[in-house]
Amino acid sequence: MGQHDNGPLGPAPGAAADPGDDGELAALALKILVAGGFGVGKTTLVGAVSEIRPLRTEELLSEAGELVDDTGGVDQKTTTTVAMDFGRITIRSGLSLYLFGTPGQDRFWFLWDELSQGALGAVVLADTRRLEDCFPAVDYFEHRRIPFVVAVNCFTDARRYGAHEVSRALDLDQGTPVVLCDARDKDSGKEVLIRLVEYAGRVHTARLLDSVEPQADSV
């Protein structure tokens, strides 16, 4: 169901200088997006794994918003992200991730292009009760050739499906990882991020090799 266009050569995708709170510089800081449908757990995931107090831009749901936001299946949700969530996690010494949670509603998708600039990759959170809600995020990242993993947030009242079943239902490109997770659990969220960094690293390395092979053949 995904649709399958990046910039000139420059710094490695997702790399950024990390100023640090105490003046120390991290060797490498990578930008990661956390995307998905409305109410799927993006803010929860960023908050669970972030080692700093996460920046949140949430507002209370209004009656006007109910006219445009589909709240079916997330009836207990009372707030919504209107710009982004931001957090930071250190994977290991010298490697930190900056996490940017994207807004889930259609009317805020104009922010995605700004947030995706320089991103190493993305996590697409999925809820099997509303699996169709993550189609736009899958299409967005496939179209822009941004590596991503699909992380199925295992809600307690949701039917359980295997990774292969979810991959087939979303018609993912072969090799796109699907992982099961609990967005509330720090260790579970960290495993998702490690899986993404490993996958995105392989994708970007393969693309770099593809770009230099023709030049080597012509020498």
pLDDT by residue (tens digit) across 71-129?
A: 444 445 444 444 578 999 998 889 899 999 988 666 666 788 988 999 999 999 999 99
Query: Between residues 134 and 111, which one has the greater pLDDT?
Result: 134
Q: Report pLDDT for 157.
A: 86
Q: Report pLDDT for 59.
A: 47
- With a pLDDT cut of 90, the percent of the chain lying above it is 56
Q: Report pLDDT for 170.
A: 96
| 151 pLDDT higher than 70 | yes
Q: Could you tell me whether strands 148-153 and 178-181 are parallel, antiparallel, or unpaired per DSSP bridges?
A: parallel
- pLDDT confidence band for 161 (50 / 70 / 90): very high
Q: Report pLDDT for 38.
A: 85
Mean of pLDDT over the chain = 80
